[in-house]
Structure 1
């Protein structure tokens, strides 16, 4: 027995990369310790040589013993003749249904009829043996912006929802603020409005604030519920208790959460006692349609109230929480969904062809609801991260839950389908963070072993995204920054994904910003992201100031960087305003989609987030210096909107 050879073959069968090239092009070998950690994470026993040999033999048998494939992908609405059959009698059902929608008698080949987009279960029986095949019926392409809107080019406004100030909110931007901001931008010609992820942060976790480290991506952030817009209630609670929170210069998450929860508890009691029957019926229908997923999530939230937020420390078999608490947490999700749907309806009514542009985070916190609810699908003992690249030379451990490819496939991708549907349902456009993770994931073991890559079921995940996007008439942007394999972007474009072009990184060989004609068409183009310097911050070198302040670079390096930055900025803007020059470049570019940031309109210097920091930088806390109520009269948004409109990016109503 050669243990290392068995381990290597087992790793290969499970999609674990044997090596990869680092930032500098050096070949990095995946260590045996990393292979063992990954194999353990996906549920295989590799504790010793005998266990490795047994796991390998079992997996080989599973693969070699099958007569039919485990999974096939077909184009929806097109008859699909398969190359297998073996005289099988077969039946086809939609996943989750017992209704037979197609069947066939013994034949050498199975021919599937044209199928609507969806996930199906094919049961084939031949010679007394039955096998199950997952069928993914997906459209050939994702819908383009032009197909969805009859516009070839659109611009939109991106903003941090938490940072919006208004007369009526409670010190944290909310869903009503989102609707009003969309109405303002839509009337100025914007085709979409983009915000950070709206995933739930966990009802009981008062310390979690990063929208990219949520508790569960399949449910909504109830901290954004507008207390004065709760369905079924005609009167709004007083917000006088929130006065200090509203006056604070930055978002006071913990204090806000405590008071907001108290108001929601009181509103739920009023809803239970006095809401009219139509509202209560709508809530009951929501619970029925959401099924066991919502029940499981509500149970997690209710158990967190009893046992704390660290579910790994809970009793093995905790008692069922009171039914009223389950109802409360399901009610919160219903209220959030109603308000978010209203924001999308109003954005469309304001003339936005796409409306909401929502963000799907790459993963959830490992102590959150998603990792508890989806234990059958997640990898154990590893975190999602990224190797060193030009965005983060030290590499990154995001401490996020990873789905195990084999487990997810066995569940017919149901956890992912739920998560995708939650984000896509209320959007005309979504952005998938770190879309390279559909092809391969960089995992970092808890045991200290080096990180490495594991292959994902790429084509299947693409099919799932196309199915869900078609269901809700949504276009999809894939964030494809960082180290990307050759050909990856071309493959994604062929499937209909829009790329993500950040102007700060789109420079020519001389370090100058790309000319408009050199920016690709099938992308969403912007100057900055939440993790990069704002336009004003870039101009004045605010990011360099922070790097020096945190001792990431010394004074000499900082001075050299400032000099290079000033030369670059001066050469680009000439005699013009830097902001106007950048926005003009974006407006005139080939990009189908262009996003401008409210941060840039308001000349904010600090980025929303500085990667690699937690408390040293005001991450996710900065409020805008203007109330939403005054944004139109303020006049700073108008000139950039006019630039976009003059370049032919105006929305359908404006056109």
Structure 2
């Protein structure tokens, strides 16, 4: 076999897609250099043709001699049929303990077993094989099963941008709880926020919620310093909290350095006070949290402590500290035991406050409650890639080819998860991330869920990006297991270049899609009427990555494109003319219901759609024009920095809050009264 043929065969066998169709319908072929880079990322040695042929031969030999597939995905509670080669003895070691065993002459039929990731051991004379057996519920939790309602509505907001007089200038978990109570009282079923993943103590400059240090742990910059358990009424704690209030000012843009600096100084003092003065029940609760966190929490805290000494990117640390299993890591971490305990305490406080926000949301009538967001990946030098390195692809990052959100394509500088390594570790790291994120989430939005099918990898060596196939059925099953245990509804953000059949496969398993009205067009480019939106979806007008309603109507996003010099110099006029045409086409599609006001017409249309969930952006409720984020930019646009003008305490009195609630109620989402937008001020 020629070198090129062997490379093509190996790449195909390992999931490197040979081509893809781009935004303009053109076929993009994956070049040889990219194939080698993506294979290396999965741990294969392919630096020469001989090495490629050796790897291919080894792969084919394993396929010829194995008894059964190395991984089997089935449905919990039903028999699982597995094709085997010849008669076998089998044993299933259940995840939660317990043993089932037997023998089979031909295809193996396992009895109904509970959900989980189990060990299946197959034996025949002279040979044993271990199979990963993933059994999941047939479908994920649904809106009706969780809420008792067929159609609900809620609000999405930027947590960092919430304004109140009690904070340093960055929205916190107490603001989240109060906002949830506000919207729960007017009939909303959920409150969604940007990811609350950990940023990293030593990287205060990392402000994007979609570029976290670790997705399995919480952002401590959002801790409400005046609500630390055990110190709520302590006089010294009150004095410390008073120093924080307003430390970053109240300008239109957040001063992150001032805000996070003030919060961190306060938390350092509060931890010392907690150690010396907190009541025994609070101390015991922290001890239980620390014990339950196990090795994962310890590894995370170890990274945080080491980062204070060496910086927030472990790739810049001394080589001896790159691998956490090395004795040098253990010896250096030992003197940092007090700092590790501090970072565990921060996670306990954040977890306690997020749990309280969910409890208060549901007490206010909000079901499912909090709607949290899972970022597509972590920063490459952060805590997750250090502590969960056995699932990270080497020498690549993830992004997206040109699509509707960013015609220039995107490079996210985030770590990719290797399908080979995920399978080898039985998805342990990913399961932990899902479990911890779902713990306080009535709904979980998975950002760029297209990555469950294929992930666009950008090699560090500069070769063109290409798609790596992912183990979609296994990833769906893992998600279903954790969602069922947590009682969490899952929404998959499925915008971009969608492979044929992908949305149908996700829907079949119970994942809700994402219907963004400004992108909802048929094959002829016409806007779909509201009644044609997918019933099994969350519908909204905009997201954090798109223009707000006011921004879309005024062309604010086009203004940014012009300002940044994107496209031809004369393209701006064409874009404005096209936007005017689109606006009228959208209004024609949604019809006259709701009067003349654009906010009312758009949200009345969403309310009456068959979509199971409708999200109203807080930005649109408050009449914000500028978007939270402009994809394809970092510092050119004030991404993630805008603060809402209206304080949390005053949001309930905003006119559009009552209007939106009445529109949703009038369409049968929770309540039953109606209102005419023409009568509103």
Tell me if both proteins adopt one fold, taking TM over 0.5 as the criterion. yes
Aligned to 2:668: 648
SS at match of 2:389: coil
Note the 1:311-330 alignment, pairs <5 A.
311-315=314-318, 316=320, 317-318=328-329, 319-320=332-333, 321-330=335-344
Preserved contact between residue 535 and residue 611 of structure 2 (Cα < 8 Å): yes
Shift of 1:63: 2.2
- Residue 476 of structure 2, aligned match among 462, 470, 477: 462
Where does 1:64-213 land on structure 2 (aligned, <5 Å)? Answer: 64-84=64-84, 86-95=86-95, 99-105=97-103, 108=106, 110-213=108-211
Report deviation, 1:304: 0.3
Q: Within 2, Cα distance between the matches of 1:273 and 1:615?
A: 43
Alpha-carbon distance between aligned partners in 2 of 1:422 and 1:580, rounded to the nearest angstrom: 38
Say which SS state the counterpart of residue 441 (structure 1) adopts: strand
Post-superposition offset of 1:242: 4.2
Return the alpha-carbon distance in structure 2 between the equivalents of residues 47 and 370 of structure 1. 28
Equivalent position of 1:447 in the other structure: 461
What displacement does 1:23 show? 1.7
TM value normalised by structure 1: 0.96
Contact kept in structure 2, 1:74 and 1:80, CA below 8 Å: yes
Out of 145-154 and 547-556, give the one that drifted further: 547-556
User: 1:83: Cα distance to partner?
Assistant: 3.7
CA distance in 2, matches of 1:116, 1:440: 29
Alignment partner, residue 600 of structure 1? 620
* Residues 308, 92 of structure 1: alpha-carbon distance in 2 compared, 3 angstrom cutoff: same
TM-score (norm. length: structure 2): 0.92
In structure 2, relative to structure 1, the CA distance for the partners of 1:443 and 1:509 (3 Å cut) is: closer
Q: Does 1:619 align with 2:639?
A: yes
Cα RMSD (Å):
2.0
Change (3 A) 1:119 1:651: farther
Distance 1:393 1:577, change over 3 A: same
Partner of 2:311: 308
Q: Is the 8 A contact 2:492 2:511 kept in 1?
A: yes
Report what 1:228 is aligned to. 226
What is the deviation of 1:173?
0.6
**C-alpha deviation, 1:445, in angstroms:** 0.3
Shift of 1:167: 2.1
By how many angstroms is 1:549 displaced?
1.1
Shift, 1:507, TM fit: 3.3
- The offset of 1:653, in angstroms, is 14
CA distance 1:163–1:104, change in 2 (3 Å) = same
The corresponding residue for 1:472 is: 486
CA distance in 2, matches of 1:106, 1:189: 56
Alpha-carbon distance in 2 for matches of 1:494, 1:424: 21
* Rounded Cα–Cα distance in structure 2 between residues aligned with 1:564 and 1:15: 40
> How far apart, CA to CA, are the structure 2 residues paired with 1:291 and 1:546?
47
Provide the C-alpha distance between the structure 1 equivalents of 2:412 and 2:139, rounded to a whole number of angstroms.
31
Q: Tell me the residue number matched to 2:385.
A: 371
Per-residue CA deviations over 1:603-628 (Å, capped at 9, x if unaligned) read 10100001111122111010101111
- Listed as ranges, the gaps of 5+ residues in structure 2 are 321-327, 675-681
- What does residue range 545-560 of structure 1 map to in structure 2 within 5 Å? 545-553=559-567, 556-560=570-574
Match of 2:679? none
Contact 2:457 2:467 in 1 (8 A): yes
Q: Deviations over 1:4-61 (max 9, x none)?
A: 1221111111111111222222222111100111111111111112222222222222
Counterpart for residue 539 of structure 1 = 553
Match of 2:289 in 1: 286
Hey, what's the Cα distance between the residues in 2 that align with 1:244 and 1:277? 32
* Residue 399 of structure 1: how far off its partner (Å): 0.8
Query: In the superposition, relative to structure 1, how do residues 2 and 593 fare at CA in structure 2: closer, same or farther (>3 Å)?
Result: same
Partner of 2:44: 44
Over residues 172-205 of structure 1, what are the superposed CA-to-partner deviations in whole Å (9 max), with x where a residue is unaligned? 1111111110000000010101101111111110
**Kept after mapping to 2: 8 A contact 1:358/1:427:** yes
Measured in 1, the distance between the counterparts of 2:42 and 2:523 equals: 43
Structure 2 residue matching 1:576: 3-state secondary structure: coil
Q: Verify: 1:240 aligned to 2:243, yes or no.
A: yes
Greater Cα offset, 409-418 or 564-573: 564-573
1:651/1:62 CA distance change after superposition, 3 Å = farther
For the residue of structure 2 that corresponds to 1:408, the secondary structure is helix
Question: 1:422 is matched with which residue: 410, 431, 436?
Answer: 436
* C-alpha distance in 2 between matches for 1:512 and 1:18: 32
SS in 2 for 1:565: helix
Deviation at 1:84, TM superposition (A): 3.1
Q: Number of paired residues?
A: 652
Q: SS of the residue aligned with 1:380? A: strand
Rounded to whole Å, the distance in 2 between the matches of 1:281 and 1:302 is 23
